[in-house]
Structure 1
């Protein structure tokens, strides 16, 4: 992986760890961004991490472009030698797959889809060689996902499936974007899953909806009172398929302040994960549920 450095105008340095997404590239970018933050380089005003890259905003009146480039390259050298271990958390996210709200929306926009006669789940199952929508949902919810970045719109997580590359779910985006997507839709585009934090336009395939708010500007939701955005890069997500009754109950619990997503603090070791992916994922799930 050769890191590429480019300047954006007079105030930004873009650091691209790889031109394709991988957990190795994500870990390197995360480690470098952390190193820049902890180094306290004078003139750095903002650090924005992404899937396999990050961007630094700096004040050129305080630090010259060549100087910040030299500083960050030195941090890259240290990051490459660092242990690929992060302290993070694993969280369970309930999902009502094939729900009526995303189904109604996707049917309104079928003329923008690759296969107008079916649904997004039908299409995703077919092109990923699953025998049915049910087996596809089992694969989608069966393995955990890494939150590789948060953004695009406030609080929206991009998630990368934690399985071997040949098993990863991949689905292209709509041929033309929709003008509407329900809030809290669980979607997928390319190799990335996401949760739409707010209602709005979108082009990702729609698989279901979660009753769990992930962004709340008013900070009135019980578990979002400390910070309005739920996710942060490095979070591990485990989806749990639920039905209509459980969905309605969760919505009621959110409204009454009783909903609390299962969360456990964990230490994630990339090398141990790579030795036995399924075994490591099972270990993570056991930590989430206390067994």
Structure 2
């Protein structure tokens, strides 16, 4: 990977690890953004990590842009020596696949889709070589996912599938974005899955919906009283398929403030993962099952 440094206007430095997403690029981006934060460089006002990059906002009245660029570049060697290992958590997220709300929405916007005669799931299954939608859904939920970024809209997580590269699901976004997407839709675009934290426009394929609130600016949800956003980069997610009855039960528990997400604390080691993907995933899911 060759890191690319560019200015973003007068107040930003953009640091790109790679043109494509990989866990190695994510870990280097995480290490460098942490190094910038730890360096406490005068003039830095904000650090924004992304999937395989990060951006630093600074006050040019306090530090010259060239000096800021130089200070950040100096930290790259330190980041390269950092361990590719983080203490994190694995979270079970229930998903009602093929739900009536995303289905109604996707049918309203078929003229904006690559396959106007089908559904998002039939299209995704076909282009990824699956015989049935059920086989595709199983591939989506059978392995864990890594949260590589939170943003675009408040609280929305981007999730990267923890499987061999050749097994990763890939689905393009809509030809033209929708003007509506139900809140907490589980979507897919490119190599990323996501959860729409709020209702609004969107272009990702829609596969289902979760009853689990992931963004609460009022912090009234029981498990979001410490912070309004549930996910953070480095989290690991395991989708759990549920039916309508289970969806309704969990939704009521969330509304009644009696729902507690299933979570286990784990350590994720990139080197161990790359040496044994199946074994690493099995240990992650075992930790969740024991929680």
Q: Would you call these one fold, judging by a TM-score over 0.5?
A: yes
Once residues 255 and 35 of structure 1 are traced to their aligned partners in structure 2, the CA distance between those partners, rounded to angstroms, is 40
Q: Deviations over 1:56-95 (max 9, x none)?
A: 0011122212222222112110111111101111100000
Counterpart residue number, 2:60:
60
| TM-score normalised to structure 1 length | 0.98
Counterpart residue number, 2:158:
158
Shift of 1:102: 0.3
Once residues 290 and 32 of structure 2 are traced to their aligned partners in structure 1, the CA distance between those partners, rounded to angstroms, is 33
Once residues 61 and 111 of structure 1 are traced to their aligned partners in structure 2, the CA distance between those partners, rounded to angstroms, is 50
Shift of 1:245: 0.5
Kindly report which structure 2 residues correspond to 1:215-254, keeping only aligned pairs within 5 A, or say none: 215-254=215-254
Counterpart residue number, 2:135:
135
Gaps of 5+ in 1: none
Once residues 149 and 191 of structure 2 are traced to their aligned partners in structure 1, the CA distance between those partners, rounded to angstroms, is 13
Once residues 132 and 251 of structure 1 are traced to their aligned partners in structure 2, the CA distance between those partners, rounded to angstroms, is 29
Once residues 217 and 73 of structure 2 are traced to their aligned partners in structure 1, the CA distance between those partners, rounded to angstroms, is 37
| TM-score normalised to structure 2 length | 0.98
Counterpart residue number, 1:271:
271
Once residues 128 and 242 of structure 2 are traced to their aligned partners in structure 1, the CA distance between those partners, rounded to angstroms, is 23
Counterpart residue number, 1:262:
262
Shift of 1:111: 1.0
Shift of 1:131: 1.1
Shift of 1:130: 0.8
Counterpart residue number, 1:189:
189
Once residues 172 and 251 of structure 1 are traced to their aligned partners in structure 2, the CA distance between those partners, rounded to angstroms, is 30
Secondary structure at the aligned position of 1:60 is classed as coil
Q: Deviations over 1:110-148 (max 9, x none)?
A: 111111111111111111011111111111000111111
Q: Deviations over 1:169-224 (max 9, x none)?
A: 00011111111100000000011111000000111000000000100111101001
Gaps of 5+ in 2: none
Which aligned runs of 4 or more in structure 1 are off by greater than 6 angstroms? none
Secondary structure at the aligned position of 1:148 is classed as strand
Q: Deviations over 1:9-35 (max 9, x none)?
A: 221100001011111001100110111
Does 2:32 match 1:41? no
Shift of 1:165: 1.1
Secondary structure at the aligned position of 1:6 is classed as strand
Secondary structure at the aligned position of 1:139 is classed as helix
Shift of 1:263: 1.0
Secondary structure at the aligned position of 1:83 is classed as coil
Once residues 162 and 28 of structure 1 are traced to their aligned partners in structure 2, the CA distance between those partners, rounded to angstroms, is 17
Once residues 232 and 31 of structure 2 are traced to their aligned partners in structure 1, the CA distance between those partners, rounded to angstroms, is 14
Once residues 211 and 205 of structure 1 are traced to their aligned partners in structure 2, the CA distance between those partners, rounded to angstroms, is 18
Once residues 69 and 289 of structure 2 are traced to their aligned partners in structure 1, the CA distance between those partners, rounded to angstroms, is 44
Counterpart residue number, 1:23:
23
Once residues 73 and 112 of structure 1 are traced to their aligned partners in structure 2, the CA distance between those partners, rounded to angstroms, is 43
Secondary structure at the aligned position of 1:230 is classed as coil
Once residues 196 and 177 of structure 1 are traced to their aligned partners in structure 2, the CA distance between those partners, rounded to angstroms, is 14
